[in-house]
Chains A and B, each alone.
Chain A
Amino acid sequence: MPSLLRQARVWQGFAALLALGLVIGPLGPLLAAIFRGDAFTQLGEARVALVFWRSVWMAALSAGLAVLVGLPLAILAHRTRVWGAELLALLTPLTLLLPPLLMAQGWNGLTGWDGLWASVFTLGMCYAPLPALLASRALAVQPGAAHESALLCGGRRLALREMLTTARPAVALGGSLAFLFSITDFAVPDYMAALGDTFGVYPGHVFNHFRDDDYWAGARAAAPLILLCALVLYLGLWARDRWSQETPGSGRQADALDWGRATPAWSLLAWSLLGLTLLLPLGRIVFELGVAGPEAPGTWGSRASESVQAAFDRGREDVGRSFSNASLAGLVALLLAPFLAHLLASRRGRTARLLMTLTALPLLVPGVGYGMGAIAFANRPGWSEFYQGTGLVVLVYAGRFLPIAVFLLAERFQSVPRSRDEAALTLGLSYPRRLLQVFVTPQLSAWLLAAGLVVVFAVRELDLAILLPGANQSAAVRYFNALHFARDGFVAAFGLLIAILLFLPAMLYAAWTSLRRRDV
């Protein structure tokens, strides 16, 4: 028995079983629908096929836009000397904390844009941080030698091309993730269609079928979307692997590129890109705090102050509950993710890609289907306390968002030199200690970030919050309830409050590391 506990396979197998246990209940019925013969016949109907293909090309355009904005933003913020580069890098991911619908409202309020193209644009801007974040990570470990030789041989132009080559694998994956989030988003196209020319998207078709009395109708409608998402993710992973270069993890990192006299122009470009993804719509949301009709009493300032006060007063307890549930889910991810990430990182090629695609399945299915599956699984006689309690919420959240943590950690673990692991093995360290000392401890910030992302997505999740009893009194439900009942000032204030609270740990961590760097 003791020798068994020293083996990697045993621990990884146990973690995989636990992860499977978390997701099988909610996920099982949805996946079963894919294998039912009639799941794809509806695509033969011209109307449904038209809507499906429209969703595909719209999401492809949004993903393309996300890459076009995200990649330059990553390069400028992380690898060049533009003004306020650190702040740019810190603010880039903030967009991911804000609900896309809020961003859509911000853009519409700002520009008056609506309809199909406004939806493509908004989703592109909302998900630009995904390729930006992945690219920035790849650029951060770009070997100094490669960068300097490019700079010497071909100046800034070649150095930039070298950066693009370095970032390409990460961008391929980031772009495919932007596609997945765009194609499954219903709120933004629905909102933009409501304001301009009417058009339907496939998630709308899925939504309509989940309203049927028969659960299978929704599951069948979701099946083509799930399969397409899995395929796109696999292709993204394939592109990443194909374009990846072997880079020594312990090599000297490249210096930031100096723009010289062109610094103001490049800085302006960098901040303009951040303006598109974050600052402009955020500014509009702030403006919404006190917007009212011409006959409303008070000034903008007094109304904004009332909105913020109301957000604190009415939403405080819900925010606390949301963070509490999400934190526990993050904790589960913190414990399970290293084992699964190591399992994925130790595989290569097609096996690794297939494993990753399978791991991502809980994220690829519609939240409403996942929630319905959880009800079907856990709402049974004798389980009432478990079903009503927050234990179920934590397990369901953890299962759905664990893939995010696993992906992030697996990517970091892959950069750990194999020699270190082999040395630890030679020293006779048990697997848990090896995992902790060789992989987790050197990647402590990534480990915490992985759990932090699970918290962020769990706090943002709406469908599960409505469907699971223990999750209902939450920030997400209060926020969207107010949105439905047109409480604009409250919605803006509460959205900002949630975003700030989610972003606060990252800001504190950045400030702390910055101070430490200065001390050194």
Chain B
Amino acid sequence: MRASLVPLLALVAWTLPACGGAEYDLVVYASHDQEHSEPIIKMFEERTGLKVRAQYDVEQNKTVGLVNRLIAEKDAPQCDVFWNNEIAHTIRLKRLGLTQPAESEATRAIPAEFRDAEGHWVGFAARARVLMVDPKQLEAAGTSLPPSIWEMTAAEYAKYGSMAQPLTGTTLTHFAVLSQQLGREQVLDWLRASRESGIALTNGNATSMKRVCQGDFPWCLTDTDDAAAAIANGYAMEVVYPDQTDAVQGTLLIPNTACMIAGSERMEAAQQFIDYLVSPEIEEYLANSRARQIPLHPEAKAPEGLQLPFRDFAVLAVDWEAAATELQEVEEEFQKIFTQ
């Protein structure tokens, strides 16, 4: 019995020091890919000497992540900066009074359509909603790509493609934007019809991308970072920017966003971090990463081959405030269609 206590005591000695709370100069919640966000945060620590506590998120296992934690923590906020990998939930936080203005010269360098007029959030390093295509499969199937998102569920295209259900992430944002711009009933009807159309409805963009890589379908609607991941994994995929005709308005671009949390007691460090995130250097870092994110800062240099908005493809103009309102209103309707 006494001999058994030795490993127990060793265990206590090993683990007890971890129990104390540590002091931090800045708390960052990051929902971006940890492999990229972690070195960026570490680089910031090295340069400034500030100690950052980073908290990460996942979506794959259907957890309720950092956004809900921020809401749950509203009475005693712990976070200083939220680095969101999309935009709709950032605006939701603003609406709930959980963010505060954080404007500076650095944030004002980002084009106005990608930052909040009141300075509550700023966008950077975007993803585009694109069609990822396996040209060989497309040719073998003897079909072509739908020219527009709206035609994905048409009989001649649907059975060759895949998209995520619009319940979470960028697909939810995408269809909320469409709902706000084109009319709610039209989008709901389209989504109802999509269930019967033959298009494969998956639980996320990454799954759609993987199914194309596996050879299940010639194309899918996904984000540029998922398509870039497939290409990085050695699959010969092509990226097509949909809705580039005169009849339709352009491809949707969804930026990362950074916002300062209301009640932050470390505002100076928080502003410093936001400025760092939207700098050309970080935009270039993310553009060169495996995620191939699209820089928004006019001074950021894009790597060769990366298509740029406005220059290489038309971008769908979005009123993000209105889209976020729409998202909150249609989310439950989407759930009713797909949770059956």
User: Residues of A at under 8 Å CB distance from B?
Assistant: 47, 50-51, 101, 186-187, 190-191, 193-195, 198-200, 203-205, 207-208, 210-211, 213, 215, 218, 292-297, 314, 321, 324-325, 327-328, 331, 334, 368, 372, 375-376, 379-381, 383-391, 394, 441, 444, 448, 462-463, 466-467, 469-470, 472-473, 477-478, 480-488
Cβ contact of B1, chosen from A186, A203, A444, A466, cutoff 8 A: A444
Measured between C-beta atoms, what is the minimum distance from B117 to chain A in Å? Answer: 23
Cβ contact of A190, chosen from B18, B58, B203, B229, cutoff 8 A: B203
Among all A-B residue pairs, the 6 with the closest Cβ atoms: A296-B234, A293-B234, A389-B21, A293-B235, A194-B203, A484-B60
Measured between C-beta atoms, what is the minimum distance from B307 to chain A in Å? Answer: 20
Measured between C-beta atoms, what is the minimum distance from A29 to chain B in Å? Answer: 11
Please indicate the chain B residues that have their CB under 8 angstroms from the CB of A379 in the complex: 72-73, 75-76, 78
Measured between C-beta atoms, what is the minimum distance from B168 to chain A in Å? Answer: 8
Q: Mark B7-22, 1 if CB is under 8 A from A, else 0.
A: 0100110111011111
Bound-state CA distance A204–B57 (Å) is 19
Bound-state CA distance A389–B17 (Å) is 11
Q: Is the CB of A368 within 8 A of B63?
A: yes
Q: Is the CB of B233 within 8 A of A292?
A: yes
Q: Is the CB of B202 within 8 A of A194?
A: yes
Measured between C-beta atoms, what is the minimum distance from A105 to chain B in Å? Answer: 10
Q: Is the CB of A293 within 8 A of B213?
A: yes
Q: Is the CB of B62 within 8 A of A467?
A: no
Q: Mark B92-127, 1 if CB is under 8 A from A, else 0.
A: 000010000000000000000000000000000000
Cβ contact of B18, chosen from A218, A325, A448, cutoff 8 A: A325
Q: List 22 A-B contacts (CB under 8 A).
A: A47-B336, A195-B211, A198-B195, A198-B338, A208-B335, A295-B235, A296-B233, A321-B18, A327-B14, A328-B15, A331-B8, A368-B63, A379-B75, A384-B78, A390-B19, A462-B58, A466-B56, A466-B65, A467-B72, A478-B34, A481-B33, A486-B210
Bound-state CA distance A407–B164 (Å) is 41
B186 close to chain A: CB less than 8 A? no
B144 close to chain A: CB less than 8 A? no
B128 close to chain A: CB less than 8 A? no
Cβ contact of A482, chosen from B4, B34, B230, B235, cutoff 8 A: B34
Q: Mark B213-247, 1 if CB is under 8 A from A, else 0.
A: 10000000000011001100111100000000000
Please indicate the chain A residues that have their CB under 8 angstroms from the CB of B63 in the complex: 368, 462-463, 466, 480
Q: Is the CB of A187 within 8 A of B61?
A: yes
Bound-state CA distance A441–B5 (Å) is 12
Residue of B nearest to A448 (CB): B4
Q: A200-B340, A213-B96, A386-B21 are in contact. Are A372 and B76 (CB under 8 A)?
A: no
B204 close to chain A: CB less than 8 A? yes
Q: Is the CB of A389 within 8 A of B61?
A: no
Bound-state CA distance A139–B101 (Å) is 66
B53 close to chain A: CB less than 8 A? yes
Q: A384-B76, A484-B58 are in contact. Are A51 and B234 (CB under 8 A)?
A: no
Number of A-B contacts (CB under 8 A): 204
B181 close to chain A: CB less than 8 A? no
B282 close to chain A: CB less than 8 A? no
Chain B interface, >50% SS class = mixed
| Chain B 298-340 interface residues, beta-carbon cutoff 8 Å to A | 335-336, 338-340
Bound-state CA distance A389–B53 (Å) is 12
Bound-state CA distance A125–B233 (Å) is 30
Please indicate the chain B residues that have their CB under 8 angstroms from the CB of A215 in the complex: 72
B165 close to chain A: CB less than 8 A? yes
User: Residues of B at under 8 Å CB distance from A?
Assistant: 1, 4, 8, 11-12, 14-16, 18-22, 33-35, 53-66, 68-69, 71-73, 75-76, 78, 96, 165, 167, 195, 201-204, 206-207, 209-211, 213, 225-226, 229-230, 233-236, 291, 335-336, 338-340
Measured between C-beta atoms, what is the minimum distance from A395 to chain B in Å? Answer: 10
Measured between C-beta atoms, what is the minimum distance from B148 to chain A in Å? Answer: 24
Q: Is the CB of B15 within 8 A of A187?
A: no
Bound-state CA distance A205–B338 (Å) is 11
Please indicate the chain A residues that have their CB under 8 angstroms from the CB of B206 in the complex: 484-486
Measured between C-beta atoms, what is the minimum distance from B261 to chain A in Å? Answer: 13
Bound-state CA distance A385–B62 (Å) is 29
Residue of B nearest to A378 (CB): B76
Cβ contact of B204, chosen from A194, A204, A292, cutoff 8 A: A194
Please indicate the chain B residues that have their CB under 8 angstroms from the CB of A384 in the complex: 21, 76, 78
Bound-state CA distance A327–B15 (Å) is 7
Chain A CB within 10 Å, residue with most, of B12, B207, B233, B339: B339
Q: Is the CB of A485 within 8 A of B56?
A: no
Cβ contact of A293, chosen from B34, B59, B75, B230, cutoff 8 A: B230
Measured between C-beta atoms, what is the minimum distance from B199 to chain A in Å? Answer: 11
Q: Is the CB of B19 within 8 A of A391?
A: yes
Cβ contact of A466, chosen from B18, B58, B229, cutoff 8 A: B58
Cβ contact of B68, chosen from A210, A380, A394, cutoff 8 A: A210
Bound-state CA distance A388–B19 (Å) is 10
Cβ contact of A372, chosen from B12, B21, B62, B72, cutoff 8 A: B72
Bound-state CA distance A480–B61 (Å) is 7
Bound-state CA distance A386–B56 (Å) is 20
Q: A481-B56, A484-B60 are in contact. Are A293 and B339 (CB under 8 A)?
A: no
Measured between C-beta atoms, what is the minimum distance from B297 to chain A in Å? Answer: 23
Bound-state CA distance A406–B138 (Å) is 58
Bound-state CA distance A204–B168 (Å) is 12
Measured between C-beta atoms, what is the minimum distance from B5 to chain A in Å? Answer: 11
Please indicate the chain A residues that have their CB under 8 angstroms from the CB of B209 in the complex: 486
Bound-state CA distance A190–B15 (Å) is 36
Residue of B nearest to A314 (CB): B35
Please indicate the chain B residues that have their CB under 8 angstroms from the CB of A208 in the complex: 167, 335, 339
**With contacts A295-B236, A389-B22, A390-B21 known, what are 10 further pairs, Cβ within 8 A?**
A187-B60, A187-B61, A194-B207, A327-B15, A331-B11, A372-B72, A390-B20, A463-B64, A481-B33, A481-B35
Please indicate the chain B residues that have their CB under 8 angstroms from the CB of A296 in the complex: 233-234
Q: A195-B207, A331-B12, A462-B58 are in contact. Are A294 and B236 (CB under 8 A)?
A: yes
Please indicate the chain B residues that have their CB under 8 angstroms from the CB of A193 in the complex: 203
Please indicate the chain B residues that have their CB under 8 angstroms from the CB of A383 in the complex: 76
Q: Is the CB of B56 within 8 A of A473?
A: yes
Q: A379-B75, A462-B61, A472-B55 are in contact. Are A292 and B234 (CB under 8 A)?
A: yes
Bound-state CA distance A50–B336 (Å) is 12
Please indicate the chain A residues that have their CB under 8 angstroms from the CB of B16 in the complex: 328
